[in-house]
Structure 1
């Protein structure tokens, strides 16, 4: 087969050696599953970050369907020193999408490995391959009338549990800490060995998705936000579907209310009175996810003025902060907890409570209620229309669940974003002790000047938050090396020692989460 002359080659690999490796890949996968033409690679090179697509362009893409094929692929990659970047569904929008972390890596696309291997409705767990989506799982559960519910991130239907959990994503149900609900992985290592975590290594075990720990060191977490192996199966726990589900919203008029909101919520979350991950969304987050656009209110460049935001609140009934939570359980449990919750907010003397009966199908209440009840949707993609132009980067620092900390972070982020002419589009996700402060840095990627501002803004956000002792828990591929440095040299030394032991040829996604033997040796 005549090879196209690849404009993009893996780092340190010649055209001739790459052509030889491609022939070996074809022998394993078949011609149709080895993608090298530029038009075939377009879906793997759509990024939302403030750099040219070329900076993250792949040299090829492979689609595998079996573990055995993946074992052969990594052996070929080792023989030719070709870096391979695995993806599950490739829908990690705002964090890098499907593009590789470094230019020239080949994509290993696992979307065709999409078997729902098992759902045990009695023990409430699932075992799936990496290409399974939440939409696919939801349909299976509905068609088979299984009494379980899912937890997923907001743009949920087209994403999947393996990719989201491996990147330590979160959801909006009582099972919203997805990695905590993971139980048992199958991982192909860089040498082709297949490793099963937890009880998975015991022949004939029926507790692989039941007991997380197994015996000896528990290594599941080592494979998340890392590049030590390729996850080919993952188990996770499912929440029993409760007889009563009661979603609600509390609307607050003033930005300063964030202090009292969080301090009121913390004991309710710690006690389990409110069992799910509570969201506190800003006005502009509400506006974007309700499919409003900035152009409907203002035409001038720069950030949206506070006066305009107040007008939006008046027009739509949205608050400065919009709190979403839910209660789950029997009627008796829900009634008792509802009284506790409403008494707490009435005592606070702030906030207007809205129930599902009052909201009906109004957005964004409807999609929030769906997320909290395990019904996938794509409503939150409306955020990308707020400014338009296809630019999005998630900035996601963590803070204590203290109102004063949230106020401090919100003020700092808003000041930096406004300095660069961008909007503060944010939500807090409230756990019992921590807050995920999720900010969508939206910008017009077709505007070169605004793109430069967005890049400078993100760098400044990282710098200024780090000075205050804050760090992000996820970040897009452009900034992964930068964020890895903020966690200190000892952690990085350990991570690279593990990489040298498991992947001495540095072929599995070098650079992912800042782990790259080649650059680390040089430094």
Structure 2
């Protein structure tokens, strides 16, 4: 006898009888064990970190597919019964909404069991994987097969995966850190069950799917990222050859006001590729949290942490107000030349203390930063959640030009708003080629209703005030997706919804993702 579902929790616009019919078809297609409806089975899919009630993002069920054919079968059933599904893969998506669906009652489509490493080419340095493959799994594969290739991944890397991270346009810390740029070839199950392959993938017998991105005609890969037009079931991407020499280093700054000068110094080195990887400029509290320092060890009062306490933490843990991390890659000759340029540039600036790996040894946080920049997965950065405790986290990630004046302006504005709401500025700047990702973790105690409300109001004010200054985030948690979509303007939304109507007229694929939902007017 099948387990009955909770009749009070149904997908939007679906009655109980229709939903039970759909579940029966899911069970026949996927097997009983791959259709989850019991409350205890759904707990992992409803552990959110946003300042809203869990009930707002509670799934009605979860189904687990193990093959492309099963994914096609799932969307066919969803079309028949108008069942909305929310697709996830390996990662937890902490800070961006976790694994919970965007809307109450959506059915989770979990792809974690589709975890085949289909092919790795050590000569062309390419890989083709399914969405359930984790960075940890892929790293182990490279090590076991003695392949001299390097991965690039986000900071909490071991449990995340290249497909999910790239589909949300995540970034990493190696020269291949712009992950979508390094993607090459997608297989996508469309809402009607058709399989679409981007680039060269549609050519029968083609061997260039993972080496030539463009194919013929419109290049549509980007259309499927941060969107809900299809379900990615395979992805190709490029891997970096492991260099003969890897030289990580940090530059420590003691003055919070130095951020503008730091960026002005780093930008020319990044654009010229003297420093080829994304440079991280992390503030003191980010670094303290990353090594699991607890605020309660220093202060018990609620509210923003006073500067005097931050100075005490800096002194105790040997941190800077700003902590810059970068690396050099290449032959010994290349690294020697570029190292001379870097050290002379820092010396000429008159600020900052360079720390090398030989000086830092295995001390944290240098060690985990060096691992990120060398493609070794770890989970160190989850230590941030110990800073305040209580399980509350929202990433606020505005983008700007890589100019010192822009970064100083954003830092001052963000810190002012966070402190106003009794929260701390815990942030880092990631210097791309010409852009800055300003990543701030809005940390709060979710077990405290009053602090949770402050966190919600704080995040809303950050979005409002940054919009007034011409800034917008590049990713956001599911509770604020509609609000961020508004910032990008009506024409963009009109185009996105036109594509949605053409490809998914029944609105079954992740309604609400990035604010794209045919049920809503805008």
TM-score tier, shorter chain, comes to: over 0.9
1:320-351 CA distance string (max 9 Å, x none): 10000000000000000000000000001110
Matches of 2:9 and 2:114 in 1, distance apart?
Answer: 27
Partner of 2:370: 369
List gaps (5 residues or longer) in structure 2.
none
Tell me, yes or no, if the aligned pair for 1:6 and 1:59 is still in contact at 8 Å: no
Matches of 2:86 and 2:226 in 1, distance apart?
Answer: 13
Partner of 2:245: 244
Partner of 1:498: 499
Matches of 2:212 and 2:6 in 1, distance apart?
Answer: 51
Aligned 1:175-254 pairs, distance under 5 A? 175-254=176-255
Matches of 2:127 and 2:6 in 1, distance apart?
Answer: 44
Deviation at 1:90, TM superposition (A): 3.9
Partner of 2:170: 169
Partner of 2:64: 63
Matches of 1:192 and 1:103 in 2, distance apart?
Answer: 25
Q: State the secondary structure of the residue aligned to 1:428.
A: strand
Matches of 1:56 and 1:172 in 2, distance apart?
Answer: 32
1:339-391 CA distance string (max 9 Å, x none): 00000000011101000000000000000000000000000000000000000
Matches of 2:253 and 2:185 in 1, distance apart?
Answer: 42
Deviation at 1:85, TM superposition (A): 0.6
Q: Do structure 1's residue 86 and structure 2's residue 110 form an aligned pair?
A: no
Partner of 1:413: 414
Matches of 2:206 and 2:481 in 1, distance apart?
Answer: 38
Deviation at 1:315, TM superposition (A): 1.7
1:153-184 CA distance string (max 9 Å, x none): 00000000000000000000000000000000
Q: TM-score, normalised by structure 2?
A: 0.99
Matches of 1:352 and 1:409 in 2, distance apart?
Answer: 24
1:52-74 CA distance string (max 9 Å, x none): 11100000000000111110110
Deviation at 1:5, TM superposition (A): 3.4
Instruction: Decide which moves more: 293-302 or 129-138.
Output: 293-302
Matches of 2:260 and 2:483 in 1, distance apart?
Answer: 31
Q: Do structure 1's residue 313 and structure 2's residue 314 form an aligned pair?
A: yes
Deviation at 1:301, TM superposition (A): 0.5
Aligned 1:351-366 pairs, distance under 5 A? 351-366=352-367
Partner of 1:99: 100
Tell me, yes or no, if the aligned pair for 2:151 and 2:240 is still in contact at 8 Å: yes
1:202-247 CA distance string (max 9 Å, x none): 0001000000000000000000000000000000000000000000
Aligned 1:328-367 pairs, distance under 5 A? 328-367=329-368
Matches of 1:326 and 1:4 in 2, distance apart?
Answer: 53
Q: State the secondary structure of the residue aligned to 1:92.
A: coil
Tell me, yes or no, if the aligned pair for 2:61 and 2:107 is still in contact at 8 Å: yes
Matches of 1:478 and 1:163 in 2, distance apart?
Answer: 19
Deviation at 1:296, TM superposition (A): 1.1
Partner of 2:424: 423
Matches of 2:143 and 2:339 in 1, distance apart?
Answer: 28
Q: Do structure 1's residue 288 and structure 2's residue 312 form an aligned pair?
A: no
Q: Give the number of equivalent residue pairs.
A: 521
Deviation at 1:6, TM superposition (A): 3.2
Instruction: Decide which moves more: 375-384 or 309-318.
Output: 309-318
Partner of 1:449: 450
Matches of 1:314 and 1:512 in 2, distance apart?
Answer: 43
Q: State the secondary structure of the residue aligned to 1:518.
A: coil
List gaps (5 residues or longer) in structure 1.
none
Partner of 2:161: 160
Partner of 1:476: 477
Deviation at 1:432, TM superposition (A): 1.7
Matches of 2:8 and 2:157 in 1, distance apart?
Answer: 35
Matches of 1:8 and 1:496 in 2, distance apart?
Answer: 27
Q: State the secondary structure of the residue aligned to 2:263.
A: helix
Tell me, yes or no, if the aligned pair for 2:91 and 2:161 is still in contact at 8 Å: no
Q: State the secondary structure of the residue aligned to 1:325.
A: strand
Q: State the secondary structure of the residue aligned to 2:280.
A: strand
RMSD: 0.6
Tell me, yes or no, if the aligned pair for 2:401 and 2:434 is still in contact at 8 Å: yes
Matches of 1:137 and 1:7 in 2, distance apart?
Answer: 41
Matches of 2:502 and 2:65 in 1, distance apart?
Answer: 26
Q: State the secondary structure of the residue aligned to 2:289.
A: helix
Q: State the secondary structure of the residue aligned to 2:326.
A: strand
Partner of 2:45: 44
Partner of 1:129: 130
